[in-house]
């Protein structure tokens, strides 16, 4: 058993992307130059382990490079794990199934997770607490009223991701 959380920061056109891996599984990813910003959001059983910078995380880092080079489905191949209630897990699974190049509304995401359209707020909450962007692509969810809506890493990052994926 690996008793560390391994971290790597990769450059992207929209800013640095930190990846955190435990035992070969991606547990956090986000647009920050400081992996500790992601680390403190992890569940206690993982923050009990030391954060260890590494030069190459292997498959997750390769997937990011491939995604940036135009393989828009490369991120889908990375094994990941994040905490959440059974409902949140269904929402995150439905979110991960939204293909690159497409977008959904919060109400549509709720429906895809087997919830009523009125559960749009729960879908928004799942997106807001998503620890593994852009692998769990909350950037592909847009408000039905128009515009970009919120995004943890800022609207310019969300807009860049959607343009990169030809969703705009």
Render pLDDT for 87-103 as a digit per residue (tens, 0 to 9). 999 999 999 999 999 99
Contact 21, 5 (CB under 8 A): yes
Q: Calculate the CA dihedral of residues 92, 97, 100, 106 and round it to 10 degrees.
A: -50
Q: What is the pTM of this model?
A: 0.93
Residue 1 has pLDDT above 70, yes or no: no
Residue 100 CB contacts under 8 Å (≥ 6 apart), including other chains: 72, 73, 137, 140, 165, 167
Residue 81 has pLDDT above 80, yes or no: yes
Q: Which two tokens stand for residue 108?
A: 């549509």
3-state helix, strand, coil in the chain (%, to 5): 40, 15, 45
Contact 22, 28 (CB under 8 A): no
Q: Is 138 a catalytic residue?
A: yes
Question: Residue 164's pLDDT is what?
Answer: 96
N- to C-terminal Cα separation, the chain: 43
Set 61, 138, 141, 162: catalytic member: 138
Residue 58 has pLDDT above 90, yes or no: yes
With a pLDDT cut of 70, the percent of the chain lying above it is: 99
Residue 160 has pLDDT above 80, yes or no: yes
């Amino acid at each position: 058993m690996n008793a560390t959380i391994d971290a790597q920061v990769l450059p992207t056109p929209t800013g640095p992307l930190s990846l955190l891996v435990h035992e070969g599984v991606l547990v956090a990813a986000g647009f920050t130059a400081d992996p500790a910003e992601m680390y403190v959001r992890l569940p206690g059983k993982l923050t009990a382990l030391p954060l260890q910078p590494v030069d190459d995380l292997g498959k997750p880092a390769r997937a990011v490079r491939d995604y940036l080079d135009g393989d828009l489905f490369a991120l889908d191949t990375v094994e990941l794990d994040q905490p959440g209630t059974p409902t949140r897990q269904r929402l995150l699974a439905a979110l991960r199934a939204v293909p690159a190049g497409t977008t959904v509304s919060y109400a549509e995401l709720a429906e895809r997770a087997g919830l009523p359209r009125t559960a749009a707020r729960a879908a928004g909450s799942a997106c807001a607490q998503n620890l593994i962007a852009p692998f769990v692509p909350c950037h592909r969810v847009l408000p039905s009223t128009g515009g970009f809506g919120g995004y943890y890493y800022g609207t310019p990052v969300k807009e860049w991701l959607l343009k990169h994926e030809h969703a705009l």
